Structure 1
Amino acid sequence: MKMTAANLTKLPGDALKAVYGMNGDTVLYWAHHEKLCLVDDHIAFMGGLDLCYGRWDSWQHSIADAHPGDLNKTVFPGQDFNNARILDFSDVAHWDQNKLDRRYNSRMGWSDMSISLMGPVVEDLRRHFAERWNFIYQEKYSSKNSADRYSPLHVSESRNGIVHHDYPSSPDAPLPEHMRERMMERWEESRERMDGFREQVRHHFPNSRHPPPPPPGMPCQIMRSCTKWSHGTDSTEHSIQNAYIEVIRNSHHFIYIENQFFITATGDSQRPIKNQIGAAIVERIVRAAREGEPYHVIVIMPAIPAFAGDLKSDEALGTREILELQYDSINRGGNSIMESIAREGIDPMQYIRFYNLRNYDRINSGGAMRDAEEQSGVSYDDARQDYDQRYGSQNNEYAQGGAYNNEDQQYGGGGQNNRFERYQEATQNIGSHSGLSSGQWDSVASCYMLNGEDIRNVPWEDGTTDEMDAFVSELLYVHSKLLIADDRVVICGSANLNDRSQLGDHDSEIAICIEDPREIDSYMAGRPWRATEFAASLRRLIFRKHLGLLPAQDVTRPDQNFEPIGVPNAYDWGSREDEAVIDPLSSDFSSLWNNTARNNTQAFERVFHPVPSDSVRNWKDYDEYFSRFFPSGKDAKEEKGKEPSKPSQWKLGHVVAEEFPGGVQEVKEVLSQIRGTLVEMPLLFLKEEDIAKEGLTLNAMTEEIYT
């Protein structure tokens, strides 16, 4: 029996306890979900970014990565080219064994947030790590047989109130001290330490092109989700949830949330959901409406969880369960955020809105690729596989030890592994192909960014694929765990907005709350407002990226924004694009934001028929809108060559070609209207269906896993 979500629902309770690991009625199927890297007790990196394949990305999030004129221009080698909606990671120990053919399939873009830190806060993070390490050491490795391999870490004396703070155990309990006051007090205590760190910055970055100025320091608070199983603590800590609730309740005008999940409760009637972040949102919006205050919440999240499979299949039951829990948190089920606000006689759409991200690209599989394949006698994908192996083995001891020493295996020798050289040599003789062999148009993602070329003017030559079928689209996966309040306060960390991350006794998490003391002049709802430099610049940069108001990044020419802390980020304060997003409550911004989201949504649905979609209210609609064009279980490579007159019937994420009698120019006309990656979240998707439980019954314990 395969351990699919559908099959797990049929297991008896005792079997589920064995599968998930149970102690009494406590589910132990949780994870150490933190993302934390400490370097020399000096610099810390933390946030939502995993240290694994498929996470690195650029502002434009290019999803095409075929380079027919030069394989050395590959941006995402090996399994870094990943699309979890089509094919999940497999055999990751062999990173070069990528089974996703990039001649026909796109990758999935990755939108994430991580923070680089320096100063006394690194001491607190080190102590947190040492405590975790020592707890696990005592639990697993302190035996005589393991003593030589591992050893405990020294834990320095804790500075008062940073890690071991005195948050109450209940999110509803009154806080004994306002977080901001506590943060400011701790910051004042730490300012003297910063002088020493300033010299350390210069020591660690002696050759930087941008000599670092003395860091001003910012008051901050480390927060955690941890309990006995994850950290050995006597009590459960959920200070991240407490911080979310407090910051939302005390916000003046604006909350921005960007998170991988949105599963939360507005009270005690949404079991199995328990965290009360949704209740804080409802409370704050109702108070703003009754007092006539300008107030707004913007939430950006993925359109769908990044799991492979057709939504209608049994294997996608877990995905559908998450979707249902999220919709029940947002606008369905009787106790959602929007329904709770509406019961107070308030239009929720005036105060809170939800959005997703999506983008498109064009795979350069035309005439240049055809000619290179014909002249070399090597397919592009075979040459690409050899490139991946070569790329990964350059500094690999296994390769240096002789794995490629014989003539049949050595790169450049007489065996099949010289396919890369043969292909590369052929590219020197294929001509320019209207610039398509130069690499300039290996991706067209820059077309929807600032100062990008109009897609209608980008050249193409038919070859391996015609241009209509070279266009691809995919959701841009939001993996951030970020909250920005009033352009003054930032919460960033590893914690998703769901019970697993927020309750403390499920997944272990870490986050930081930052309030920059450097104030700047700004606006809220057309009125002067004192924002802070860090929060305001971060929020504006993110909004501009989503709206296409940033230029595409040249990944071969990293700038100072690629550097860790110590090198200041560049931001063009006062530019026209900055002014466009300065006031998130102004009517001009609201028009720009919502019109962009609406226009992009309509364009993507017209060309690619993505799901979820508001036009799909039930499974019959789903079949008519999606399934008849994209049969389940068929990726682009498997069905290559079938029904060439209707390519969209078998290529997931490609153009629904039969709906464009005017040909590819008609497609380009629609795509030319897209700016950035912002789209509306389809709140009516499958509204007439019980999304998760059609023909199945979810076990209460598996429901807890998904919340």
Structure 2
Amino acid sequence: MDFHSLLRKAKHGLEDLLTDETHSHTHDDAQCHDQDIHAETSANRYGSFAPRSTGHAKWYVDGASYFWAVSMALEEARESIYILDWWLSPELYLRRPPARNERYRLDNLLKAAAERGVRVNVIVYKEVEAALTLNSQHTKHALEALHPNIKVFRHPDHRPSGVSLVSGLQDLHSGLMNFSLKTFDLARASEDALKNLYGTADDIVLYWAHHEKLCLIDGNVAFMGGLDMCFGRWDTNSHPIADAHPGNMDDIIFPGQDYNNARVYDFEDVDKWENNKLDRTKSSRMGWSDIAISLSGPVVNNLAEHFVQRWNFIFNKKYNAQNPGKYQLLEAPPAHYQHAPQPLLQGGGEFFEGLHDRFSRHMHGFFGGEEGGSHRQTAAAHIQLTRSCCQWSLGVKTEHSIANAYIEAIKNAKHFVYIENQFFITATSDEQRPVTNKIGAAIVDRIIRAYQYGEDFQVIVIMPAVPAFAGDLKSDGALGTRAIMEFQYNSINRGGHSIIETLRNAGIEDPHRYINFYNLRNYDRINTGGAMGRAEHESGVRYEDARREYDERYQGSDYHGRGDSQYRRYQEAASRLTDPTWDSVAACYMDSGPDLRTIPWTGPLEAELDAFVSEQLYIHSKVLIADDQLVICGSANLNDRSQRGDHDSEIAVVIEDPTPVDSYMGGRPYTASAFATSLRRQLYRKHLGLLAHQRPDVPDRNWTPITHDPVNDYDWGSPADRLVRDPMDHQFISLWRDTARRNTEIFSRAFHPVPDDKVRTWEDYDQFFSKHFVIPGEPAEQAQEGYKQGKVDYGHVVRDEFPGGVEEVKEWLSGVRGNLVEMPLQFLIDVEDLARDGLALNTLTDELYT
């Protein structure tokens, strides 16, 4: 089929723009009835290729604990390591700080495994270089150079036509070298240009990505979820965003390009450590909030089957002919777990009604109630693997079992649904094309049912304030970000068919009684106090120059050391100094943390005011929790790209753990699932600041693989736990909403971040944001003129708001608890089109952004 035929199909409103299928790929009910499209998967629940299975699951909130656990498992590997990633950085440190953990750099761990005979097979997404900075070629060459036992596949191949590409882009730029999709210029590209840029295979334009994250070791333990093993993902529960250590550079946590804030500068040439343009004495990093799990038991066999299927599909399509003899097909590993899955009743709700009766009577005495034990899993959880895949990604008929699982979980929920996701683009009806996934319709239907029957029911959605990374949302480079935001707002509360509008049209006057949306944000203080200046003076070396040599030592691949290095000279000078100034104040908004007003600072007070920084805490999680009983966790975002099946490839597991926990729901006694409720409570406590500050080098049993410690340690019945145990309790709801509102007010005054509800028009935007900040990337003359006008660097405190100086700033910021803030649903609501004003988004870019 030629491309113009595809465009004619799009104009006629066919749902499957880029293939010959006309199947909708999401359904109002959870099951698919088109046997021609899904014949090979229709026998299993959700239409998955994998049947319901069993196993044990362990959660990890944020990257520090997860990557530590992965490092332990990699050290113990004896037979095989299978890795699927969207992006993999060989230079990633799985333990921190790097100066004390060279052994735990990913490439060093994989090399050591290969040298002891372990077969390492890696599959990464092969990106369009003009669009993304992943540099999968570097990943492949760096890893395969370590040892012959390491094999790396990249997929898919993009074969653009150079002549057509240049021709298609002539209207955008004077030359191809200036064209970059990294700044979302594709919003202005022609359809022919996009097709030629991405290339085709089997009559499919390869706009879509392999987005799965999986590490499978010895066929025995699996790690999966939202975390790629790449730069920018490692973080602790406290999310410090300052990383200047003038007293000892070896305390740096985020080396080289791993110290990143894509709202200031995106990743650039990731194979070169020196291309980190972020000055960490002036700019914060952007924190990374994420969730992952480890699994053991029979479900690991399903994950191994999926990996082998992916590997062999790519081998047969590409590497058998491209490198004859270098790579081999994989055989499905022997099943390590032979016992059959335990039977499940159809539907999660029915299963857990039975759980109440079966376990509450017989095990309450064993556990001693909620406060009496650690709730060890006494039986395997029911776990099912689901995925999004199709012909281009796996050589199979389209499977969208993740979307089906989401819809069924929402429909079956009796009390609440909690969603953390990087995106929220969904439809309530066919009127919202090009968006086709109907997760939004399932949410609307469930809330209307609660309204009609007088039920207490809550949906909480946590998502990034800015779904991509633009710092200045008004800039041309932010067109793509604004396009995504427009689709998200049209899913939530605008455009005529959004969730909130549909609920109001159904007679629900206050939809926020049932559904609310939140973001995350935090602050920190960069240690540019007196010690940095004194060490620079005594050593004759600027801190940033010494730090860049530190980066060469720990991120570079060819560092051999120097005798009279800037790094050594600075370190020697710093070692002779004493300074009580803290390198980060992230502990201040966590549980039992110190009062910000008491944290010492040496140096000018004006410098301390300028040292405070704030940034959105980027949410990358892909998790749904229903009723404290069911969890869906994996790589899939809540948008068409992840949910349709024929776009990005994804994996996720549905976990129903029968281990009971005596709890409460809406003030009444309730039996919850240990896995689901402990994960939900951990997340709520982190967002509310009810967890203790987490150091990067103090692991506990929650930092180990499931094969070491089979369940998470959780402080059941502690004072902080009691505050979040009942998600439907009125006191908890007040705590949640009041914390979000107060944090929002504090950040809004101190840092004027956008989005903000005060900003309803572009004129508001200029007054609230543009007039106060020098934006990264501005021409030098323009930036200097901005400083003369009293502007400050992006992300810093707006001085005009605090006539009392830094003491007033600290008094104000000391009220922050955790990182929960309200999502500004009124942001630019009076602007008719966020992205389309003066811009002609075409049908293809619509598809890419949804």
TM-score, with structure 1 as normaliser = 0.87
Distance 1:616 1:362 in 2: 27
Change (3 A) 1:40 1:213: farther
1:464-496 Cα shifts (integer Å, max 9, x gaps): 971110000000000000000000000000000
Report the alpha carbon displacement of residue 457 of structure 1 after superposing the two structures with TM.
1.2
SS in 1 for 2:615: strand
Aligned mate of 2:813, from 671, 677, 681? 671
Aligned mate of 2:464, from 262, 284, 302? 302
The aligned amino acid for 1:419 is Q
What is the aligned partner in structure 2 of residue 209 from structure 1? Answer: none
What is the aligned partner in structure 2 of residue 680 from structure 1? Answer: 822
1:209-247 Cα shifts (integer Å, max 9, x gaps): xxx9887421100000000110111x2100000000001
What is the aligned partner in structure 1 of residue 211 from structure 2? Answer: 33
Asked whether the 8 Å contact 2:352–2:629 carries over to 1, the reply is: no
Q: Structure 2 matches for 1:690-705, cutoff 5 A?
A: 690-705=833-848
Distance 1:153 1:183 in 2: 39
1:138-172 Cα shifts (integer Å, max 9, x gaps): 100122x5122111111369999x9xxxxxxxxxx
Aligned mate of 2:648, from 478, 483, 507? 507
Asked whether the 8 Å contact 2:687–2:819 carries over to 1, the reply is: yes
What is the aligned partner in structure 1 of residue 244 from structure 2? Answer: 66
Q: Structure 2 matches for 1:70-109, cutoff 5 A?
A: 70-95=248-273, 97-109=275-287
The aligned amino acid for 1:535 is A
Aligned mate of 2:600, from 459, 478, 484? 459
Asked whether the 8 Å contact 1:57–1:110 carries over to 2, the reply is: yes
1:73-132 Cα shifts (integer Å, max 9, x gaps): 111111111001111001111235422110000000000011111111111100000001
Report the alpha carbon displacement of residue 350 of structure 1 after superposing the two structures with TM.
0.2
What is the aligned partner in structure 2 of residue 469 from structure 1? Answer: 610
Asked whether the 8 Å contact 2:774–2:783 carries over to 1, the reply is: no
Aligned mate of 1:430, from 577, 591, 601? 577
Distance 1:470 1:284 in 2: 47
Distance 1:702 1:641 in 2: 37
1:639-667 Cα shifts (integer Å, max 9, x gaps): 998776766x1400000012211111111
Asked whether the 8 Å contact 2:518–2:820 carries over to 1, the reply is: yes
What is the aligned partner in structure 2 of residue 535 from structure 1? Answer: 676
What is the aligned partner in structure 2 of residue 165 from structure 1? Answer: none
Structure 1: gaps (5+ residues): 163-174, 186-211, 405-409
Aligned mate of 1:257, from 410, 419, 426? 419
SS in 2 for 1:600: helix
1:36-58 Cα shifts (integer Å, max 9, x gaps): 11011111000010111010101
Asked whether the 8 Å contact 2:723–2:732 carries over to 1, the reply is: yes
SS in 2 for 1:136: helix
Asked whether the 8 Å contact 2:415–2:458 carries over to 1, the reply is: yes
Pair 1:246 & 2:408 matched: yes
Of stretches 562-571 and 582-591 in structure 1, the one that deviates more from structure 2 is 562-571
Change (3 A) 1:451 1:176: closer
Asked whether the 8 Å contact 1:104–1:636 carries over to 2, the reply is: no
Change (3 A) 1:558 1:254: same
Pair 1:50 & 2:189 matched: no
Pair 1:582 & 2:759 matched: no
Distance 1:159 1:278 in 2: 39
The aligned amino acid for 1:424 is Q
Report the alpha carbon displacement of residue 427 of structure 1 after superposing the two structures with TM.
1.2
Asked whether the 8 Å contact 2:629–2:656 carries over to 1, the reply is: yes
Asked whether the 8 Å contact 1:124–1:159 carries over to 2, the reply is: no
Report the alpha carbon displacement of residue 428 of structure 1 after superposing the two structures with TM.
2.4
Change (3 A) 1:98 1:338: same
Distance 1:180 1:583 in 2: 18
Report the alpha carbon displacement of residue 704 of structure 1 after superposing the two structures with TM.
0.2
Pair 1:620 & 2:763 matched: yes
The aligned amino acid for 1:422 is R
What is the aligned partner in structure 2 of residue 387 from structure 1? Answer: 550
What is the aligned partner in structure 2 of residue 138 from structure 1? Answer: 316
What is the aligned partner in structure 1 of residue 696 from structure 2? Answer: 555
Distance 1:47 1:248 in 2: 20
Change (3 A) 1:11 1:91: closer
Q: Structure 2 matches for 1:195-594, cutoff 5 A?
A: 216-233=379-396, 235-346=397-508, 347-392=510-555, 398-399=558-559, 404=560, 410-411=561-562, 413-414=563-564, 418-432=565-579, 435-436=580-581, 441-462=582-603, 466-565=607-706, 566-567=708-709, 568-594=711-737
Report the alpha carbon displacement of residue 391 of structure 1 after superposing the two structures with TM.
2.2
1:530-585 Cα shifts (integer Å, max 9, x gaps): 11101000000000000000010121221221111131322110011000001111
SS in 1 for 2:793: coil
Q: Over aligned residues, Cα RMSD in angstroms?
A: 2.8
Distance 1:108 1:280 in 2: 33
What is the aligned partner in structure 1 of residue 328 from structure 2? Answer: 151
Of stretches 453-462 and 33-42 in structure 1, the one that deviates more from structure 2 is 453-462
Report the alpha carbon displacement of residue 520 of structure 1 after superposing the two structures with TM.
1.1
Distance 1:10 1:598 in 2: 38
What is the aligned partner in structure 1 of residue 18 from structure 2? Answer: none
SS in 2 for 1:130: helix
1:605-657 Cα shifts (integer Å, max 9, x gaps): 0100000000000100000100111244447999998776766x140000001
Distance 1:610 1:88 in 2: 19
SS in 2 for 1:245: helix
Distance 1:184 1:291 in 2: 20
Asked whether the 8 Å contact 1:366–1:466 carries over to 2, the reply is: yes
Report the alpha carbon displacement of residue 280 of structure 1 after superposing the two structures with TM.
0.3
Change (3 A) 1:184 1:154: farther
Change (3 A) 1:255 1:180: closer
Q: Percent identity?
A: 57
Change (3 A) 1:340 1:358: same
Distance 1:507 1:182 in 2: 31
Distance 2:352 2:327 in 1: 36
Distance 2:668 2:779 in 1: 52
Distance 2:741 2:605 in 1: 34
The aligned amino acid for 1:117 is L
Asked whether the 8 Å contact 1:376–1:423 carries over to 2, the reply is: yes
The aligned amino acid for 1:431 is T
The aligned amino acid for 2:570 is Y
Change (3 A) 1:23 1:73: closer
Asked whether the 8 Å contact 2:204–2:392 carries over to 1, the reply is: no
What is the aligned partner in structure 2 of residue 123 from structure 1? Answer: 301
Of stretches 7-16 and 534-543 in structure 1, the one that deviates more from structure 2 is 7-16
Change (3 A) 1:643 1:103: same
What is the aligned partner in structure 1 of residue 56 from structure 2? Answer: none
TM-score, with structure 2 as normaliser = 0.73
Distance 2:266 2:841 in 1: 24
The aligned amino acid for 1:487 is D
Asked whether the 8 Å contact 2:312–2:329 carries over to 1, the reply is: yes
